Chains A and B, each alone.
Chain A
Amino acid sequence: DQQVKQNSPSLSVQEGRISILNCDYTNSMFDYFLWYKKYPAEGPTFLISISSIKDKNEDGRFTVFLNKSAKHLSLHIVPSQPGDSAVYFCAAKSGGSNYKLTFGKGTLLTVNP
């Protein structure tokens, strides 16, 4: 049972435009969400996160939006740069003292010059 779903395996955008990566979840006990970025031959690196009590968090070119009623979150990258080309993983943490993260399958973003 996949509790965190990234339904788009890949996304291609032009440099300078907006990239929108989507993530859906099924477990209403998730209380914290994170996005990780992964380049080839490297481990995932933390990008941005959001608590379930918020609906938006912004960090430079990256903004994460959370719609709890729809159990949906999205990552916006504006403007997109070729260096943003990577696999992006959505992750979620259950509430309480459990710090385990559940990851989606990832979306490969390609930003074309």
Chain B
Amino acid sequence: DSGVTQTPKHLITATGQRVTLRCSPRSGDLSVYWYQQSLDQGLQFLIQYYNGEERAKGNILERFSAQQFPDLHSELNLSSLELGDSALYFCASSVDSGTSYGYTFGSGTRLTVV
């Protein structure tokens, strides 16, 4: 157990639907990062939140949005889903201070859009 909890582990939904992926960071970590891993693709950075505020944005589609709540858990909302959104979605957390640069990843949510 890495300490980062992602739910659900698997999600199957139809095109056009909306889903919410949830992430609880490791205790003490203030930053949450969301990454997408599609087939044959690396980890594509989507968005970062730090202590409740958006800090960095990557190649995140306008149909996707995220937020980080006061208790530091984060949710990634995916709407108007398309077949191409099928992927593994990883959440990672980190302290983001000093020389602590590594992330702790959750085990991911596998999204299948049919």
Are A34 and B102 in contact, with the CB atoms below 8 A?
yes
Q: Any chain A CB within 8 A of the CB of B107?
A: yes
| Chain A hits for B43, CB < 8 A | 44, 89, 103, 106
Task: Encode B70-103 as 1/0 by CB contact (under 8 A) with A.
Answer: 0000000000000000000010101010000111
| Chain A hits for B42, CB < 8 A | 4, 6, 89, 103-106
Q: How far is the CB of A37 from chain B (nearest CB, A)?
A: 11
Q: How far is the CA of A9 from the CA of B39 in the complex (A)?
A: 12
| Chain B hits for A59, CB < 8 A | none
Task: Encode B31-53 as 1/0 by CB contact (under 8 A) with A.
Answer: 10101000011110100100000
Q: How far is the CB of A68 from chain B (nearest CB, A)?
A: 17
Kindly identify, within residues 97 to 113 of chain B, every residue whose CB is under 8 Å from any CB belonging to chain A. Answer: 101-108
Number of interface residues of B (CB under 8 A): 25
Are B102 and A49 in contact, with the CB atoms below 8 A?
yes
Q: How far is the CA of A100 from the CA of B101 in the complex (A)?
A: 9
Are A45 and B2 in contact, with the CB atoms below 8 A?
yes
Q: How far is the CB of B87 from chain A (nearest CB, A)?
A: 14
| Chain A hits for B101, CB < 8 A | 32, 34, 49, 93, 99, 101
10 CB-based A-B contacts, threshold 8 Å: A6-B42, A43-B90, A44-B90, A44-B105, A46-B103, A89-B42, A104-B42, A105-B40, A105-B42, A106-B43
